[in-house]
Amino acid sequence: MLAGFGFGLCAAPWAALAQQCKGTPRDALGPFYKSDAPATGELCVSGSGGTEKLVVTGRVTGLPNCVPLAGVRVEVWQADAHGDYTQVGGARDDPRCLLRASVIADAAGQYRYATILPGEYPGRPRHIHYRISHPGHALLVTQLYFGSGRGIPDALQAVLRRDAQGVWQARFDLTLVPA
């Protein structure tokens, strides 16, 4: 009877979305995570880490219904264009290019940060590390990869595209599982 009022038509897309909604695959934390990353949406203001600018956007949702999660903490860190990490070893780091950040998702679960395209290093494709936390959901440690192959799940790969200004753009949506 409710279908006659259009409720059946509305329920079908939500049911399909819930069936497609899966938690983002986990990946290695790696040895270079540092807590207390700067609260900034700019990982390399000075440009000293590389010249290929990159903007990453995404939306964080939560299972079981893939609803957007507001206030999610998204921590990211990456290598520079040469494959080197900051805050490792005794090298003096450029404080305006630490290639680490902590951003908070908005009310719609959207996040954004600007950085440089990470370099490859032996045995590793270009990637950015993620650590995502939100009350009521399990901590997610994963990585965003640029390029396919090497056994990387499709869900962890992003396609790079250049915008009109020549800046690389990537999108990486994340889904958290309940704690």
Q: Rounded mean pLDDT of the chain?
A: 89
Tokens representing 99? 């290639």
Torsional sign, CA 56, 60, 65, 67: negative
What pLDDT is attached to residue 149? 72
- pLDDT at position 91 is 77
| Other beta carbons within 10 Å of 104 | 12
Residues 6+ apart with CB under 8 A from 162: 168, 169
CA distance 166 to 144: 21
Give pLDDT, residue 3.
Answer: 43
Q: What is the pLDDT of residues 89-120, one digit of tens each?
A: 877 889 999 999 999 999 999 999 999 999 98
pLDDT band at 59 (very low <50, low <70, confident <90, very high): very high
Q: What's the rounded Cα separation, in Å, for the pair 156 and 117? A: 16
Q: Which of 110, 114, 80, 81 is nearest to 98 (CA)?
A: 80
CA distance 8 to 171: 32
